[in-house]
Amino acid sequence: MRMRARQQTNESGFTLIETLVALALMGLVLSALANLTAQWLPNWNRGLDRIQRSEQIGIALQRIADDLAAAQSVPVSRGDKPPLLFGGSEQSVTFVRTALGPNAGPGLDVVHLGETTDQGGLATVRSRTLFRPLPPESSVADQLHFGEPVVLLRAPYRLSFAYAGEGQTWKSSWQDPDKLPAKIRLTVSDASSGRVLTISTVTSVHVQSSAQAGDNGAAQANSQGKGQPAAGAQQTGGAGQGSSQ
């Protein structure tokens, strides 16, 4: 009986060697899983960050494109054949559009999109000011004082503009005083790598009428000073109001 009980005891459970071998195998498996996780998780996080950044850049570009599409053909001042209030360079653009916001009235805003430097570094910012007809022969840069800045893009991403008329020839600046560009190209590049993002886009400007001459242009400017939309604004109807910011 004692011999049979001893045999049953030896046959049940694991020996110390078997337990050590099992623990060693489990350690190898856990070590392999840890190495795989260490290699996979950073790649996953980088991919997720890229997706999130692409979505943020896409939203910013859509807002900018909607803004530019609503640009209005508004003379900068009173007088005989005043130029349009529109200035475009490779790094910035200034234009007039219908005012936006929950408390915005029927007036117009002068919007500036361009790069600036703040505490966070280089950034593409949208700022605005209320449109008022400028005195004849006055400097636009000296008369316009922008506020309410909204950051749209931050470094290392940079936004550049290009302009095209009806001929579809792209230029780095727009200097036609009597006509708005037909299309504006928005190019986003990664300054750290010099790579141009495929999310870059082209937007069409809705209003293409040139500035009115003589008294008609002065009448438009006067109506803007009283908070009434100009003839160019009336041509697009609610298109500017429908743009989301």
Check residue 172 and give its pLDDT: 94
Sorted by sequence, the CB contacts under 8 Å of residue 164 that are 6+ apart come out as: 170, 171, 181, 182, 183, 184, 185
* CA separation, residue 220 to residues 4, 79, 126, 229, 231 (Å): 113, 11, 26, 8, 7
In what side-by-side order are the strands of the sheet with 147-154?
Answer: 87-88, 92-98, 108-118, 121-130, 147-154
Lookup: tokens for 83: 């130029």
Check residue 142 and give its pLDDT: 72
pLDDT tens over the chain, length 245 residues: 455 555 555 555 668 888 888 888 888 888 888 887 777 777 777 777 778 888 889 999 999 999 999 999 999 887 778 888 999 999 999 999 998 876 666 789 999 999 998 888 899 999 999 998 877 766 777 778 899 999 999 989 999 999 999 877 899 999 888 899 999 999 999 988 889 988 889 999 987 654 443 334 334 434 444 444 333 333 333 333 333 33
Taking the C-alpha atoms of residue 222 and residue 132, their distance in angstroms, rounded to an integer, is 9
Taking the C-alpha atoms of residue 211 and residue 82, their distance in angstroms, rounded to an integer, is 7
Of 160, 155, 141, the residue nearest 90 (C-alpha): 160
Residues 232, 216 contacting (CB under 8 angstroms): no
- Residue 97, SS3? strand
Greatest CA span in the chain, whole angstroms?
125
- Residue 188, SS3? strand
Check residue 4 and give its pLDDT: 53
Task: Give the domain ranges of the chain.
Answer: 73-236
Question: Is the overall model pTM greater than 0.75, yes or no?
Answer: no
